Amino acid sequence: MNAHSLPLTPFEIGLGWLLNNYKFGGTRLWSGLRTPDSPYYSETSQHSLGKAFDVVFKYVQAEEVREFILNNRDLFPYVTGLELDVSWLHFDVRNTNAIKVFNA
């Protein structure tokens, strides 16, 4: 499924971005905070600290958003982590001064 065919909620606005949608009958439940109840839980994940978000978009590719963030650092001073080469936008606000770009 590419980003353009993702079923978003009726509240789709702007770029058509989505974090979790389980409240609307969707399957995305752990895109923000991950507690030990999550199958994706990891003690070292920024998600487990409540500092990370996995966002999908309907009208743009995650790579376009990553490039925009990296090319406009002044607009996103608190984004300090970006995961590369994934179809969603993982960003986090880890405790560091320089942005960390990484592959999982």
* Closer residue to Zn ion (CB): 21 or 54: 54
What residue is closest to Zn ion based on CB?
90
Q: How far is the CB of 72 from Zn ion (least distance, A)?
A: 21
Contact positions vs Zn ion (CB under 5 A): 52, 54, 90
Length of the chain: 104
Q: How far is the CB of 54 from Zn ion (least distance, A)?
A: 4
- 95 by Cβ neighbours in 10 Å (0-12 / 13-18 / 19+) ranks as exposed
Q: How far is the CB of 84 from Zn ion (least distance, A)?
A: 12
Residues 75, 79, 80: CA angle, nearest 5 degrees: 130
